[in-house]
């Protein structure tokens, strides 16, 4: 007899991942039938035409196939060749061999220097783990923290479904805290206290708070005071912090700046809060989602717990080596004066400028549609507008009808969580500018006639 659905565990059956759910499956079906689909459902920049940075791809190509250095002399700038040689020497055996479980030491040292340069704080390279994208790192830390069905993780609502899905899979509990839509998606101490009190009243043993900054799906950016407040809250209640900082380069308002949790924790001299920070090659201006590169870094974690993290990571042997090489390229970009600098700066600037223009275009366009309200998209790659729906209709109905009628593929707000009685959808800002204009136009017509 073959395996049956009833053979599977409840946790697997209960796990949901809206970003690739039924609406996306229907979009793929329609596309097969010849319909043009505008995929606004997932932050996958290169699938929507964004080009990989030359620097990254030259380094990856040379590391993957070092013979190119001799076969195509002159085809690669000297700094890309020197960087690839350094990575290969650092790995000792090239990209085809496992590395140590934490990742290649030479690359972790480069990540430590990157954090030092960004935050002016010291970093222990052994507290850095290279991962297959940030997702794997988040999963490792959630696995570490969830010890039983009463263990809870505070997760923002709306949230990125990696968190809800993984917590369900590991049979823990979500302790939701609500971001304040009326206040640019900021979060307040009062809301955090209320959410924690409610979780405790339900018998949940809350272990950690997860914060996504800049926010997915909200696009909100936290300032230093907000981060200090969260650290103080975590300290008061004995919680660890998971700081998902994969969008740290995606900040669009001149008044905002990315501030890392690590830096604020260091400035506050807090030693009682364990912090796990995540970064990735998938977002920012690199958009190397398919390469699966990233890292996590931890602070205030005792040695015996760090040893357990190492053990968990060693079950996977190590992160993929091309992803590790891409992480090196991310944290060690060419500096002014190096041969690759001008191209790198031009490519980076062009990508960030277009993302910024699209963020403005989309938010302004959505706000012109009666019945749709969108906050300023301050960061990340998404808008999460609220929508007024006819009685009895859900945001899933809305997203499915939008797809059928216009070919625009978005994710219903219910996949991310939302305040009871409200409805939203999430769209990325990634389609090319002319497609965004089309999205806004088609959405306006669709929204006006949706019954
Ligand atoms: C907030 C957030 N965290 C983590 C990830 C995972 O990214 P990756 O595993 O590609 O690094 C994503 C991807 O969209 C994200 O939006």
Q: How far apart are CA 375 and CA 9, in angstroms?
A: 40
**3-state DSSP assignment of residue 72:** coil
Which pLDDT belongs to residue 205? 97
Cβ atoms of 261 and 243 closer than 8 Å? yes
Q: Read off the pLDDT of each residue in 288-294 and give the average, rounded to a whole number.
A: 96
* Weakest mean pLDDT among 228-232, 293-297, 444-448: 444-448
Cβ atoms of 407 and 30 closer than 8 Å? yes
Which pLDDT belongs to residue 322? 97
> Please, what's the b/e burial string for 125-160 (b: 16 or more CB within 10 A of its CB; e: otherwise)?
bebbbbbbbbbbbbbbbbbbbbeeeebbbbbbbbbb
User: pLDDT tens, 18-56?
Assistant: 667 889 999 999 999 999 999 999 889 998 889 999 999
Cβ atoms of 170 and 146 closer than 8 Å? yes
List ligand 1's pocket residues with C-beta within 6 A: 43, 133-135, 160, 162, 212, 216, 244, 246, 280, 282, 289, 294
pLDDT at residue 187 greater than cutoff 90: no
The pTM (predicted TM-score) of the whole model is: 0.93
CA of 155 to the centre of ligand 1 (A): 15
pLDDT at residue 134 greater than cutoff 90: yes
- Maximum distance among all Cα pairs of the chain, rounded to whole angstroms: 68
CA of 282 to the centre of ligand 1 (A): 7
Q: How far apart are CA 352 and CA 156, in angstroms?
A: 26
Residue of 360, 350, 371, 373 whose CA lies nearest to 429: 360
CA of 359 to the centre of ligand 1 (A): 19
Q: What is the mean pLDDT of the chain?
A: 94
* 386-387 and 372-373 strand pairing: antiparallel
**CA of 19, closest atom in ligand 1:** 14
**CA of 135, closest atom in ligand 1:** 9
Q: How far apart are CA 173 and CA 152, in angstroms?
A: 4
Phi, then psi, of 282 in degrees rounded to 5: -80, -25
17, 135, 326, best to mutate for ligand 1 pocket (most atoms within 8 Å of CB): 135
pLDDT at residue 166 greater than cutoff 90: yes
**CA of 136, closest atom in ligand 1:** 9
Residues 6+ apart with CB under 8 A from 141: 242, 276, 296, 309
CA of 432 to the centre of ligand 1 (A): 21
Cβ atoms of 364 and 374 closer than 8 Å? no
Domains in the chain with CATH codes: 5-50+348-449 (3.90.1150.10), 89-331 (3.40.640.10)
Residue of 348, 353, 291, 298 whose CA lies nearest to 320: 291
Dihedral (Cα; 324, 326, 330, 331), 10-degree rounding: 30
For residue 142, give the H/E element and its range: helix 133-145
Residue of 292, 338, 351, 323 whose CA lies nearest to 59: 323
* Residue 244 burial (C-beta neighbours within 10 Å; 0-12, 13-18, 19+): buried
């Amino acid at each position: 007899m073959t395996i049956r659905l009833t053979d599977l565990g409840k946790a697997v059956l209960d796990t949901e991942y809206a970003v690739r759910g039924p609406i996306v499956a229907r979009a793929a079906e329609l596309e097969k039938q010849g319909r043009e689909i505008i995929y606004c459902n997932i932050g996958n920049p290169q699938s929507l035409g964004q080009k990989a940075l030359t620097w990254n791809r030259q380094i990856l190509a040379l590391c993957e196939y070092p013979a190119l250095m001799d076969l195509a002399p002159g085809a690669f700038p000297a700094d890309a060749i020197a960087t690839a040689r350094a990575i290969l020497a650092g790995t000792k055996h090239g990209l085809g061999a496992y590395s140590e479980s934490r990742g290649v030491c030479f690359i972790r040292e480069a990540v430590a220097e990157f954090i030092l340069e960004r935050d002016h704080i010291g970093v222990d390279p052994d507290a850095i783990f290279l991962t297959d994208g940030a997702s794997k790192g988040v999963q490792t830390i959630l696995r570490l923290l969830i010890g039983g069905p009463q263990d809870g993780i505070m997760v923002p609502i709306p949230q990125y479904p990696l968190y809800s899905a993984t917590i369900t899979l590991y049979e823990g509990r979500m302790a939701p805290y609500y971001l304040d839509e009326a206040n640019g998606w900021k979060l307040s101490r009062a809301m955090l206290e209320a959410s924690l009190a409610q979780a405790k009243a339900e018998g949940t043993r809350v272990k950690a708070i997860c914060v996504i900054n800049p926010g997915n799906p909200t696009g909100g950016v936290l300032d230093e005071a907000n981060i200090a407040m969260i650290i103080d809250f975590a300290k008061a209640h004995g919680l660890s912090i998971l700081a998902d900082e994969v969008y740290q380069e995606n900040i669009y308002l001149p008044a905002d700046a990315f501030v890392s949790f690590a830096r604020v924790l260091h400035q506050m001299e807090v030693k009682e809060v364990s912090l796990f920070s995540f970064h990735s090659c998938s977002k920012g201006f690199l958009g190397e989602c398919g390469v699966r590169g990233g890292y996590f870094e931890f602070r205030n974690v005792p040695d015996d717990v760090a040893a357990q993290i190492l053990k968990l990571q060693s079950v996977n042997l190590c992160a993929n080596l091309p992803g590790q090489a891409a992480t090196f390229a991310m944290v060690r970009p060419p500096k002014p004066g190096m041969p690759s600098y001008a191209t790198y700066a031009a490519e980076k600037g062009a990508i960030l400028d277009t993302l910024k223009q699209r963020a403005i275009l989309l938010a302004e366009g959505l706000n012109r549609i009666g019945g749709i309200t969108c906050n300023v998209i301050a960061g990340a790659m998404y808008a999460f507008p609220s929508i007024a729906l006819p009685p009895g209709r859900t945001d899933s109905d809305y997203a499915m009808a939008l797809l059928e009628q216009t070919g625009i593929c978005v994710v219903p707000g219910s996949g991310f969580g939302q305040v009871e009685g409200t409805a939203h959808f999430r769209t990325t800002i990634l389609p090319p500018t002319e497609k965004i204009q089309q999205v806004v136009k088609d959405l306006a017509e669709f929204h006006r006639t949706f019954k």
